[in-house]
Amino acid sequence: MPVTLDYNKCDNAPACVGVRVCPTNAMTYDYSASKPVIDESLCVDCNVCVQYCPHAAIEVAQA
């Protein structure tokens, strides 16, 4: 299942841990929007970002 970002929990920092640990670069930081974003077409559902997010803002999407 793809992952989602809860922007109410996210600190929206450019140094987002999820961006740094994503093995496929599916998560990037959008400087124009000032927040991290996920490209679902690149996400392989490894959930590494979910495990590393210190704010619990990245979650596995519910079906």
In the chain, the domains with their CATH numbers are 3-60 (3.30.70.20)
Residues contacting 15, CB < 8 A, separation 6+ = none
pLDDT at position 2 is 83
This prediction has a pTM of 0.86
Mean residue pLDDT across the chain: 94
**Structure confidence at residue 1 as a pLDDT band (50, 70, 90):** low
Burial 23-55 (b: 16+ CB within 10 A, else e): eeebbebeeeeebbebeeeebeeeebbbeebee
Do 10 and 30 meet the contact criterion of CB atoms below 8 Å apart?
A: no
Pairwise CA distance, residues 42 & 11, whole Å: 23
